[in-house]
Amino acid sequence: MLAGAFFLWYGGLALLFAPLLVLPIWPRRAFRAVIRAFYRIFVVLARWTGLFKVYADEETRRRLAGLRGAIVVMNHVSLIDIVVIVASLPDATAIAKAAVMRNPFLAIVAKRMFIVNDGDAAAVLAQAAEALGKGVNVVVFPQGTRGGGTFHRGAAHLALSSRRPLLPVHIDYDPPVLAKGQPWWDVGRRVIRIRLAARPAISPSGPDSRANARALTERIVRAFGEASGGARRW
Q: Is 115:136 a contact under the CB 8 Å cutoff?
A: no
Find the mean pLDDT for residues 12-25.
59
Per the structure, how many domains does the chain have?
A: 1
Q: Is the peptide bond before 142 cis (omega within 30 degrees of 0)?
A: no
C-alpha of 167 from chain center = 12
What's the Cα-to-Cα distance from 16 to each of 19, 44, 130, 147, 214, rounded to whole Å?
7, 19, 32, 32, 45
pLDDT at 232: 42
Residue 168 lies in domain:
2-231
What are the φ and ψ backbone dihedral angles of 20, each rounded to 5 degrees? -70, -30
The DSSP line for 149-189 is -PPPSHHHHHHHHHT--EEEEEEEEES--S-TT--TT---S
Which one-letter DSSP state was computed for residue 9?
H
pLDDT at 228: 57
**SS3 label, residue 74:** strand
The amino acid present at 178, given as its one-letter code, is L
What's the Cα-to-Cα distance from 19 to each of 13, 24, 33, 41, 135, rounded to whole Å?
12, 11, 17, 19, 29
Higher-pLDDT residue of 20 and 194 is 194
Q: Over the stretch 38-69, which tens digit does the pLDDT of each residue have?
A: 889 888 888 888 888 999 999 999 999 989 99
Q: Is 187:164 a contact under the CB 8 Å cutoff?
A: no
Q: What is the CATH number of the domain that holds 42?
A: 3.40.1130
Q: Over the stretch 66-90, which tens digit does the pLDDT of each residue have?
A: 899 999 999 999 888 999 999 999 9
Measured CA to CA, the distance from residue 116 to residue 60 in angstroms comes to: 28
Find the mean pLDDT for residues 129-150.
89
Give me the percent of the chain exceeding a pLDDT of 90: 49
Q: Is 142:73 a contact under the CB 8 Å cutoff?
A: yes
Higher-pLDDT residue of 213 and 23 is 213
pLDDT at 74: 95
Find the mean pLDDT for residues 9-16.
55
Compute the mean pLDDT over every residue in the chain, rounded to the nearest whole number.
84
**SS3 label, residue 138:** strand
What is the CB neighbour count within 10 angstroms for residue 231?
18
Which one-letter DSSP state was computed for residue 100?
G
Give 18's pLDDT tier (boundaries 50, 70, 90): low
Instruction: Tell me which of 59-63, 96-100, 219-223, 224-228 is least confident.
Output: 224-228
Q: Is 158:164 a contact under the CB 8 Å cutoff?
A: yes
C-alpha of 40 from chain center = 13
pLDDT at 234 over 50: no
